[in-house]
Chain A
């Protein structure tokens, strides 16, 4: 009887462990995040009280920090991801060509990615300092500026510093994915294009880019996921300042949930960030996925 049942539903039994695993690492935490967001839960005061959707109401309509931090998140993620994608595309194309020391260059290119992000943040904080920072020294030696600039003390330049540190650290990741994608494009297509008299730009636009779309999609989605929840660089480089000009939703969640133990409210911000991330992934899917997959 049991054997019959087992044989009949064999395919279900096979995937059961995976379902349990997924339920444990994905479904339960997600459900718990939403469930916790329905409570006023302050670990420091030991208070837990059901408040329904009040956390969301407060967050969206009363919290003076949420919307500015959301705007900072979009600026940070949008700029850092776009720049690293463009740079990744350029670098991967260069490294895909038969150039000298290609192997060594590929390894060197990975170095920034190997450094822990907190260290990247600390290093860039030194680089951007006004008095002893290397960035000012280089600009002054090149004659671009004649006075030191305190990059980390103004809102815009501090955000630009965070974005710079981020794409410096994460461009290698994009490059690796795109390089793998480039290597999967058959040479025959380029040879045929050569026969047809296509120039470099035409080959890139009509062959490389369309065939690289799946890799770009993967790189874009992964980079966005990493950047939208990134906390390390912001914390180590600016600490969210000056003022709150580089505070992002990830740092807000960290402060609310981890440091201030306002678990319920922090979870509500987490749910909103999760929804934004899901929407972004669907948007990328809609724009970049091949037609066959969309259907």
Chain B
């Protein structure tokens, strides 16, 4: 009996001691930069609260408009400051920050890695090392008006050719004043033009860069993709000309307000649809296929940890927590953002909230996403966007625009990286 008591005391002491050690492993607080305001990010806010409760760590959130996030973080990291421990960024930021060694690897176990779709994991990996914890994703789907398609006796487009046919039939001057009141199709423009182009490029079988970082988006596949984007606006006239200067929000507004009959857009547009008058008049489908695939470009949020952080263990725990099953589920259910973790699609919370067809489309879409990692994303994106705009407004032919963009990016890489 005495021996048992001693053993119990020893075990109890060990448990208490190990809990203390665990608690001491984590810092009292960490600072993260969030892409945008938390009031528009309820799922993130909810998961941060959960993390704080479960780990006893206070998370100080600095809200940074996503357009300025790279600028702000670049300034912070270039001064080797430890003021940011982790940040909620985008997949495209990976090389920007991993190349100068500003990011800390996230040590996922094999089991943890299996949670994510392969395309998403690849987009979080730089030179064989995983630096990002995938939280949610924005891949392209086709959002369309079921009522208009039914009225016109049309099927949901599955290929680019179908898309043109359907869009032409749905482009209408409804009040007869000579102005088009309803366009057949729209895509994301403005700062998302590069995003849209990459989706069409991948669907044509093209790529942005080869393995030696030479630009190859001006290949015949690239020209085909940009010609298609231009034709939708200038030849078929099924996409409004002003799309060049309309971003994700503006294009979503056009769809919700009935000015577009279909749109290639990203989650969480379906969340907006569910809370609008279109709730029973709209649906989603996989993005129409090009010649080769219906792969879509992958954007979305991923958690990165700063290599200058003095609280790396806590920051890594935070990153892993924010990308676990429950967190991905919240992103999908609370905000409508697609999940990098395919297992959540069978969760009752998901099947209860979204129509069965939508869930199937989202699940299918996650399997075929792609994002290439390349340096100087912002410069590349700006050059590409400028030349895409030149092609869309007819200043240059698609071929010339892409050749000029490739030349400029080639020069950038040769001058700065010595490639």
Contacts and interface: CB of A to CB of B under 8 A. Distances in A.
Is B a genuine binding partner of A?
yes
Interface of A: 42-46, 125, 129-132, 140, 146-148, 150, 152-155, 238-244, 255, 258-262
8 contacts: A44-B78, A44-B376, A129-B246, A146-B178, A146-B179, A241-B244, A242-B386, A259-B74
Given A130-B240, A153-B241, A240 B178 contact: no
Given A146-B178, A260-B379, A240 B395 contact: no
B390 A261 contact: no
B302 to A, nearest CB: 19
B100 A46 contact: yes
B70 interface: yes
B317 to A, nearest CB: 28
Which interface residue of A125, A147, A150, A154 has the most chain B CB atoms within 10 A? A150
A131 B244 contact: no
Interface in B356-406: 376, 378-379, 382, 385-387, 389-390, 392-393, 395
A42 B416 contact: yes
Interface range, B side: 35 or more
B242 interface: yes
A60 B111 CA distance: 56
Given A44-B74, A44-B96, A147 B179 contact: yes
Contacts of B382: 240, 255
Contacts of A131: 240, 242, 254, 259
Contacts, number: 96
Given A241-B386, A242-B389, A259-B70, A130 B100 contact: no
A189 B64 CA distance: 57
A42 B395 CA distance: 33
Interface of B: 70-71, 74-75, 78, 96, 99-100, 178-179, 190-191, 240-242, 244-246, 250, 253-254, 257, 259, 376, 378-379, 382, 385-387, 389-390, 392-393, 395, 416-417
Nearest to B253: A132
Contacts of B378: 255, 259-260
B387 A243 contact: yes
A260 to B, nearest CB: 6
Contacts of A239: 190-191, 245, 385
A259 B381 CA distance: 12
B204 to A, nearest CB: 23
Contact of B71 (A45, A132, A152, A259): A259
Given A44-B100, A131-B259, A260-B378, A243 B242 contact: no
A241 B241 contact: no
A-B residue pairs, 3 tightest by C-beta: A130-B242, A150-B241, A43-B78
Contacts of B244: 150, 152-153, 241-242
Contacts of B179: 140, 146-148
A107 B6 CA distance: 84
Contact of B245 (A46, A129, A244, A258): A129
Contacts of A140: 179
A106 B11 CA distance: 80
A241 B389 contact: yes
Contacts of B250: 129
B389 A243 contact: yes
Contact of B242 (A147, A152, A241): A152
B386 A258 contact: no
Contacts of B70: 259
A41 to B, nearest CB: 10
A131 B389 CA distance: 18
A129 B392 CA distance: 16
Contacts of B178: 146-147
Nearest to A129: B242
A264 B182 CA distance: 50
B242 A261 contact: no
B201 to A, nearest CB: 19
B408 to A, nearest CB: 8
Contacts of B74: 43-44, 259, 261
B339 to A, nearest CB: 31
Which interface residue of B178, B240, B257, B259 has the most chain A CB atoms within 10 A? B240
Nearest to B189: A153
B245 A238 contact: yes
Given A132-B259, A152-B245, A154-B393, 17 more contacts: A45-B416, A129-B242, A131-B259, A132-B254, A150-B240, A152-B242, A153-B244, A153-B245, A153-B393, A155-B395, A240-B382, A241-B385, A241-B386, A242-B389, A243-B393, A243-B395, A244-B386
A57 to B, nearest CB: 14
Given A130-B241, A152-B242, A242 B393 contact: yes
